[in-house]
Structure 1
Amino acid sequence: MHFVTGGAFNGKAEWVRTFYRLHDQNSSRWYSAYRGDALPKDLPGSRLVVLEGIEQWILQTGEAFNRNAGKEWLAAWLAWEKSGERKIVLIGTDISKGIVPMEREVREWRDVTGRFYQDAAKCCNRFDWIWYGVAKRLK
């Protein structure tokens, strides 16, 4: 699993397309919460699947999403990878910086997303931070 994060509009998707030599972000193996795609229940047989907008899918899941639910997502994705020579690329915007939101629901979303990112960073085999289109490999 490859986890890619960074600020909003910092070039994460473009960096992933370049790194993996992908030309079509609209392919059936690129799912984007930003385009309104649903988080796939069953992943295709492709060798590479990109899941973009993890923080948005967490938001859409609402109060049903907690750390255990996040660990279940990660376990399922890791199992899918191990079922063949496959790779999942998770792209998530870092929402931990800036002013802490006043609304309780937004703070909770930010907190649960941060905990999910911690778990994703621990279980992935590669972790990159993208800042203005430049990657810094952290793992």
Structure 2
Amino acid sequence: MHFITGGAFNGKAKWVREFYSLDDHDSFLWLSAYQTDIDENFLFISQQHLLVVEGVEQLIKSIAKEESDSDAIRTRWRHTISRFREWEASKSGRTVILIGTDITKGIVPMDPFDRLWRDVTGWAYQDIVVVSDRVDLIFYGLANRLK
């Protein structure tokens, strides 16, 4: 698993396309939670070698809208991470690439839901980092490998 994070509009998607030479690949599936709602179950039927999920924070937001508290959200997210790992392990050469915007910095939101979303996104990103083989922070198009 490879986790890429950084600020909004800092070049994360472009960096992933270049790093993985996706213009030269046809065995990948790119799903963007910014463009459409992503059904969690759909993520795991891909037969490609690379599964790119852009907008992880939006997936977490969708879960937060359906669950009642932070523990329930985290439990469901950890289950999703486990399924990503199972998908990778089910066939040699598979990699899940998760791209998530860092929404945890700056002014703490006044709206209770937005504050919950911000908090659980930070915790979810920590959960992702623990299981990821590689973690990169993209800052204005430049990668800083953290793990």
How high is the TM-score relative to the length of structure 1? 0.93
Q: Deviations over 1:75-120 (max 9, x none)?
A: 0000100011200000000001110000110000001111100000
Q: In structure 1, give the amino acid aligned to 2:145.
A: R
Cα pair 1:33 1:39 within 8 Å, conserved: no
Q: Map 1:95-106; keep pairs closer than 5 Å.
A: 95-106=103-114
Aligned length: 137
> Is 1:4 matched with 2:4?
yes
State the match for 2:32 in structure 1.
32
* Percentage of identical aligned residues: 50
Shift of 1:69: 0.8
Q: 2:79 aligns with which of 69, 72, 75?
A: 72
Q: Secondary structure at the match of 2:23?
A: coil
State the match for 2:61 in structure 1.
59
Q: Identify unmatched segments of 5+ residues in structure 2.
A: none
In structure 2, distance between residues paired with 1:100 and 1:46:
39
In structure 2, distance between residues paired with 1:100 and 1:39:
29
Shift of 1:35: 1.0
> RMSD between aligned alpha carbons?
1.6
Change (3 A) 1:28 1:35: farther
Cα pair 1:11 1:133 within 8 Å, conserved: yes
Q: Secondary structure at the match of 1:10?
A: coil
Cα pair 1:130 1:136 within 8 Å, conserved: yes
Q: Deviations over 1:41-68 (max 9, x none)?
A: 1331100010000101111221426111
Shift of 1:40: 4.5
State the match for 1:116 in structure 2.
124
Q: Identify unmatched segments of 5+ residues in structure 1.
A: none
Q: In structure 1, give the amino acid aligned to 2:73.
A: N
In structure 2, distance between residues paired with 1:28 and 1:123:
21
In structure 1, distance between residues paired with 2:114 and 2:37:
22
Q: In structure 1, give the amino acid aligned to 2:61.
A: L
Compare 36-45 and 119-128 and name the one that shifted more.
36-45
In structure 1, distance between residues paired with 2:45 and 2:7:
27
